[in-house]
Amino acid sequence: MKITVFTSNQPRHLSLISGLSAIADEVFAVQECNTVFPGRVADFFRKSDTMQAYFARVIAAEEEVFGHIGFLPANVRSLSLKIGDLSSVDMACLSPALRSDLYVVFGASYIKPPLVDVLVDQGAINIHMGVSPYYRGSSCNFWSLYDGNPDLVGATIHRLSRGLDSGAILFHALPEREAADPFVLGMRAVRAAHHSLIDSVRTGELLALEPVAQDRTLEIRYTRNADFNDAVAQEYLARGLDARWVGERRANSPARPLVRPRYGAGA
């Protein structure tokens, strides 16, 4: 089996590539890269004391769950791009990666035509870090915590669509049910998404799942990157949310419709 993944270069993205390589003969990894020191280095997120404090927590949680950056397995062929460049690359450059059996998108920039048309036609899968249709757009798991909804920290495995995070849903993946630090909870949600997707590919279940259209009436918040700024991050950090808060909120959360929910790394 050949798998192509459009992703990025943080430890969580490298982990997905490595996981897919374990069930594939060959993996094509198209990586849109940015700094591995967000907050300290100006890039996708601005450099500031507040962003440095916020992303220090993110980086620590990511290292706890996924480890450090490192080299990829031998059966991975990688192409490195600057974030945002993917839709401007000539399709001929991508042609070796466009003859695969499965296409996965995780953490790439918004993909435009003609590439998105090819991927949609091939039934590409998108891992959206956020529980759609409740949270769509950018930094969704942050916003679910910000809104006091840790039960909606998770991922949506859905068909890639031309609209942002709007494709039909195959299943939801959520972190283990026990309490956890909010930053770790978010990374555990990523891990649950990876494991559940890889397992469903390995068993062949993924191809048998009937996609479920998103109910847009359930949307709580749609966010853009510009919505996450120093003032919002500072306010969030000042709340001092912890594992106890997560556990209490999750235990008392309302029942919400989900699609084939899977929990934890063994999902």
Query: The whole model's pTM is what?
Result: 0.94
What pLDDT, on the 0 to 100 scale, is given for residue 180? 95
What pLDDT, on the 0 to 100 scale, is given for residue 153? 98
Q: What is the rounded distance in angstroms from the CA atom of residue 29 to the CA atom of residue 252?
A: 41
DSSP secondary structure, 1-55, as one string: -EEEEEE-SSHHHHHHHHHHHTT-SEEEEEEEE--SSBTTB-SSS---HHHHHHH
Give the pLDDT band of residue 267 (cuts 50, 70, 90): very low
pLDDT in tens, 202-221: 999 998 999 999 999 999 99
Q: What is the mean pLDDT of residues 62-72?
A: 96
What pLDDT, on the 0 to 100 scale, is given for residue 84? 87
pLDDT in tens, 131-145: 999 999 999 999 999
pLDDT in tens, 249-262: 999 999 999 999 99
C-beta neighbour count of 208 within 10 angstroms: 8
Q: What is the rounded distance in angstroms from the CA atom of residue 42 to the CA atom of residue 35?
A: 8
Place of tokens 């909870």: 185
